[in-house]
Amino acid sequence: MGVQTVDMLKTEIPLDEESVVIPEDAKAGLVLVDIINGFCTVGAGNLAPTEPNRQISEMIEESAKLAELFCDNEWPVLAFLDSHHPGKLEHPYPPHCITGTDESNLVPALRWIETKPNVTIRRKDCYDGFIGSIQEDGSNTFVDWVKNNKIQVLLVVGICTDICVLDFVCSTLSAKNRGFLEPLEDVVVYSSGCATFDFPVSLARNTKDHLPHPQELMHHVGLYMAKGRGAKIAREVFFNTSKNL
C-alpha cells in the first residue's frame, strides 16, 4: 500500500497521541505482550518477519528500554509469551510459537528479564493475555498481579498492536469498568513500543486463508481501537524520575 493511501486512510480515523506523564506517587506496572522470537526474530517461524522490519525493531528497542527502567527501579513487569500446545491451532494463523520451542521465548534483547525478581512471566495459548491469565482454579494471574502490586497505571507495549495488544487492552478496560482491577486507573499504550506484522494485500491474494494485513495501517487501527475503549495512546512517556523515554 502506498504511503499516500495510508496517510489518506489515517486522516479518516485520526489518532491524537498524548505525552503521558506518570507521577512519582503513582504505582506503575509494565506489560510486555508477546515480544518473542516467533513474532519478532527474522526467520524464526511461520509468523516471524522474513526480513528486518523497522517497526518491529523499534518496538523491541523501546520495550527493552522500558524493561530496563522498570527493573532498575524494581517496579512490576508482566510478560506474556504466546505458547501453544502442539496440534492446537489458532485460526486463521498457521502453527506458531509451540511450547518448548525458542519461538515462544523472549527475544534476545529481553531474555535477561526472566531472572529478575520484579518480573512475572505468563505463557498463554490464546490472543488475549487477560483470558490467557485464567488459571485452572479460576484465579487470574494478571488480576492478582495488578492487585498484589497495587498498580494504578498500566503501561502496555508489544506485538501485535491490533491483535494481542488490542485484545488484552479491551479485556482489561472492561474488567476495570466492572471494578475487578482496583486500584487500576489508567491503561496507557505506548505507540513506539508496539508493532504489528506486514502482509500486504498483493501477497495475501495468492494465499488461501490469509487475511491481508498492511503493517502501517493495521498498527494505526490497533491504536485507534484501543483509544476507542478508553486507553491513553502515548507518543512519549515521562516518569517523574531522572529517566525519560
Q: How many residues bind Zn ion (CB under 5 A)?
A: 2
* Dihedral in degrees, nearest 10, Cα atoms 233, 112, 97, 61: 40
198 near Zn ion (CB under 5 A): no
| Cα distance between residue 120 and residue 26, in whole Å | 20
Q: Which is nearer to Zn ion, 149 or 167 (CB)?
A: 167
Which of 90, 186, 216, 236 is the binder for Zn ion (CB under 5 A)? Answer: 90
The distance of closest approach from Cβ of residue 84 to Zn ion in the complex, given in angstroms and rounded to an integer, is 6
Q: Which is nearer to Zn ion, 29 or 129 (CB)?
A: 129
82 near Zn ion (CB under 5 A): yes
The distance of closest approach from Cβ of residue 129 to Zn ion in the complex, given in angstroms and rounded to an integer, is 11
Helix (H, G, I), strand (E, B) or coil at 28: strand
216 near Zn ion (CB under 5 A): no
Instruction: Give the binding range for Zn ion (CB under 5 A) out of 15-23, 77-85, 185-193, 222-230.
Output: 77-85
Closest CA to 149 of 122, 187, 184: 184
Q: The C-alpha cell of 202 is what? A: 498483493
Are 226 and 166 contacting, i.e. CB atoms less than 8 angstroms apart?
yes
The Cα diameter of the chain in Å comes to 53
Q: Which residues bind Zn ion (CB under 5 A)?
A: 82, 90
